[in-house]
Amino acid sequence: MTNSIIDITGCEKCHVKFSGFDALNESELYNFKQSHCKVVYQQGETIIKEGTRCANIICIKKGYAKLFIKGLENKNIVIKVLKEGDFIVSPGLFTDNLNHFSVSALTNLSTCMISIEAFTRAFRNNNRFAENVLKLNHEITNELYNQLINLSHKKMTGRVASTIIYLSQIYNSKGFHTTLSRQDLADLSSVSKESLIRVLKDFKENGIITIAGNHIKINSFATLSNISRIG
């Protein structure tokens, strides 16, 4: 069950550094503080559902989440793993006011919800802040392009290699523990679950990675990068 807690501690004193929020002035920060509340999600809970109305801007204070869209035959395509310091702005906010992707919690997740009114006011009046928001949405668009390249030009091994490298960047380590399920990893790699397991096994047997449960360690980053590059 989602646990919502009203929390109006000063945004200017927040320990999490959200990209672009340093461009906000005191008045804008005050509006954010007055409009926001803290919401804690449990692992697996839905935070945003594709096709629903935009309700809030969501800032991730602690934990991990996945951003995904529905593909053909109700298969998910995972676009991005979100972590502390990321904030979520639907591209539909300034068009049809609809969420064009879903977000769910990969771990227990602590977030701050900011009202759309306070956010759009800052966006329209603060050019530096607006520029940073546009950069954020461009990053998501680039992730979509990367997925398109994976689907169109890479074989299964290249797709899975790209996913492992991407996760090492998310967790900032060549050895990491992930709460992404095998199905999540398959959705992130645009392959079937069975294909993902087979490729991971091949990588492990060839000494490219070490894998035990949800812990993955890259033993040969150069080899993995080469596989990702040539597809």
149 domain-assigned:
no
In one-letter notation, the amino acid at residue 170 is I
Residue 148 lies in a domain: no
Residue 10: per-residue pLDDT: 53
Long-range pairs, 169-175, Cβ under 8 A, ≥24: 170/64, 170/81, 170/83, 174/217, 174/218, 174/221, 175/215, 175/216, 175/217, 175/218
- Within a domain: residue 28? yes
pLDDT for the residue 65? 96
Together in a domain, 25 and 134:
yes
The last residue of a domain, from among 142, 176, 202 = 142
Q: Which residue type sits at 83?
A: K
- What is the number of structural domains in the chain? 2
Identify whether 147 is part of a domain: no
Domain stops at, among 142, 171, 197? 142
186 in the same domain as 160? yes
Rounded to whole angstroms, what are the CA distances from 155 to 70, 152, 160, 176? Answer: 22, 9, 9, 24
Contact 115, 36 (CB under 8 A): yes
Residue 90 is encoded by which pair of tokens? 């639907």
Beta bridge partners of residue 218, listed in sequence order: 209
The dihedral sign for the CA sequence 136, 84, 192, 45: negative
10 Å CB burial of residue 193 (0-12, 13-18, 19+) is middle
Same domain flag for 113 and 196: no
- Reading the chain (231 residues) residue by residue, the pLDDT tens digits are 444 444 445 555 666 767 778 888 888 888 888 888 889 999 999 999 999 999 899 989 999 999 998 877 778 889 889 999 888 888 888 899 999 999 999 999 999 898 999 999 999 999 998 988 888 778 878 877 777 777 777 899 999 999 999 999 999 999 999 999 999 999 999 899 999 999 999 999 999 999 999 999 999 999 999 999 887
Q: Are residues 61 and 9 in the same domain?
A: yes
| Full domain range(s) for residue 200 | 154-230
**Could you say which of 118, 142, 166 is where a domain stops?**
142
Closest CA to 151 of 79, 199, 208: 79
For residue 190, the domain's CATH number is: 1.10.10.10
Same domain, 170 and 74: no
54 & 20 share domain: yes
pLDDT for res 139:
80
Q: Are residues 168 and 94 in the same domain?
A: no
CATH code for the domain in which residue 86 is found: 2.60.120.10
Shared-domain flag, residues 64 and 10: yes
At residue 1, the pLDDT reads: 43
Closest CA to 133 of 81, 97, 86, 64: 86
